[in-house]
């Protein structure tokens, strides 16, 4: 059995953030990251200072600068971590084995629900990503990578479905791109623009599920028994 598709992002890989070798240093660094995540979520980026993060973590400001150059660096690290976690959370709901498991529609529905839930789980950080992406090159690049890797992961599943004769698709890349961006747009509108509570998500999730299932498997040659 193959493992669920994993995100290829390497946390901190492009941010100049080296992992400490000593256990005590790793714990201090992790406390700073967790403190920053909570403060950014509650207050936003502009209203949070490096001193605030150090105080919340219970360390000196000197310790903060021993691990991070500024609060923006830790914010980018959080964004990269969040994106990697979200990709893994979504695509762990639909693996290649699920293609022959009989509940294709259910797998699609779980992936779409997870996309909505991911955004609602950390609304402050997610809104920060949306706000900063158009004007911060690094944040914008991370957002593009999220979408690109989502498309790549879905395209891989679609190609497998084609090989199994489960779909009549002929252009899996275009199909994956369309599906990923449609789900992202609707999830963003429901969770952030309309601020709908989770109890009001089902009609949108059902619609996206029916559209995706019908588009991908409506022209299938044969579903597994």
Q: Are residues 48 and 137 in the same domain?
A: no
Which residue do the tokens 């290829």 mark? 8
Q: Are residues 41 and 99 in the same domain?
A: no
Find the CATH number of the domain harbouring 164. 1.10.357.10
pTM above 0.85, yes or no: no
d(CA 192, CA 184): 11
d(CA 89, CA 216): 22
Which range, of 3-7, 15-19, 86-90, 203-207, averages the lowest pLDDT?
3-7
Q: Are residues 37 and 103 in the same domain?
A: no
Q: What is the largest CA-CA distance in the chain?
A: 64
SS (H, E, C) the chain: CCCCCCCCCCCCCCCCCCCCCCHHHHHHHHHHHHHHHHHHHHHCCCCCCHHHHHHHHCCCHHHHHHHCCCHHHHHHHHHHHHHHHHHHHHHCCCCHHHHHCCCHHHHHHHHHHHHHHHHHHCHHHHHHHHHHCCCCHHHHHHHHHHHHHHHHHHHHHHHHHHHCCCCCCCCHHHHHHHHHHHHHHHHHHHHHHCCCCHHHCHHHHHHHHHHHHHHHHCCCCCCCC
- The whole-number average pLDDT for the span 89-98 is 85
Q: Domain count for the chain, please give it.
A: 2
Q: Are residues 120 and 199 in the same domain?
A: yes
- The whole-number average pLDDT for the span 13-32 is 73
Q: Which of 69, 96, 126 is the last residue of a domain?
A: 69
Query: Angle at Cα 87 formed by Cα 85 and Cα 92, nearest 5°?
Result: 95
User: Predicted confidence band at 119 (pLDDT cuts at 50, 70, 90)?
Assistant: very high
Chain segment 35-84, per-residue pLDDT in tens: 999 999 999 999 999 999 999 999 999 999 999 999 999 999 999 988 88
Q: Are residues 62 and 138 in the same domain?
A: no
- The whole-number average pLDDT for the span 204-212 is 97
Find the CATH number of the domain harbouring 53. 1.10.10.60
Is 107 among the domain residues?
Answer: yes
Is 29 among the domain residues?
Answer: yes
Is 8 among the domain residues?
Answer: no
Q: Are residues 83 and 64 in the same domain?
A: no
User: Predicted confidence band at 223 (pLDDT cuts at 50, 70, 90)?
Assistant: very low
pLDDT value of residue 218:
84
d(CA 198, CA 205): 11
Q: Are residues 65 and 170 in the same domain?
A: no
| Domain residue limits at 62 | 23-69
pLDDT value of residue 219:
54
Percent of the chain with pLDDT over 90: 71
Please say whether the beta carbons of 7 and 87 come within 8 A: yes
User: Predicted confidence band at 4 (pLDDT cuts at 50, 70, 90)?
Assistant: very low
Nearest by Cα to 125 from 74, 57, 189, 70: 74
Is 7 among the domain residues?
Answer: no
């Amino acid at each position: 059995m193959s493992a669920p598709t994993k995100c290829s992002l390497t946390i901190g890989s492009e941010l100049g953030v080296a992992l400490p070798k000593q256990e005590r240093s790793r714990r201090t660094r992790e406390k700073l990251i967790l403190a920053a995540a909570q403060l950014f979520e509650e207050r936003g980026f502009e209203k949070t200072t490096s001193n605030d993060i150090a105080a919340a973590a219970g360390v000196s400001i000197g310790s903060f600068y021993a691990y991070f150059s500024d609060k923006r660096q830790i914010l980018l690290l959080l964004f990269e971590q969040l994106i990697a976690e979200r990709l893994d959370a979504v695509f762990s709901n639909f693996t290649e084995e699920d293609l022959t498991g009989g509940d294709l529609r259910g797998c699609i529905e779980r992936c779409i629900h997870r996309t909505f839930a991911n955004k609602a789980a950390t609304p402050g950080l997610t809104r920060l990503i949306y706000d900063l992406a158009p004007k911060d090159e690094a944040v914008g690049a991370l957002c593009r990578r999220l979408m690109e890797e989502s498309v790549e992961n879905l395209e891989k599943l679609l190609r497998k479905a084609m090989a199994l004769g489960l779909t009549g698709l002929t252009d899996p890349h275009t199909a994956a791109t369309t599906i990923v961006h449609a789900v992202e747009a609707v999830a963003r509108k429901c969770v952030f623009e309309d601020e709908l509570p989770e109890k009001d998500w089902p009609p949108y999730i059902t619609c996206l599920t029916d559209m995706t299932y019908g588009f991908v498997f409506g022209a299938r040659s044969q579903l597994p028994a």
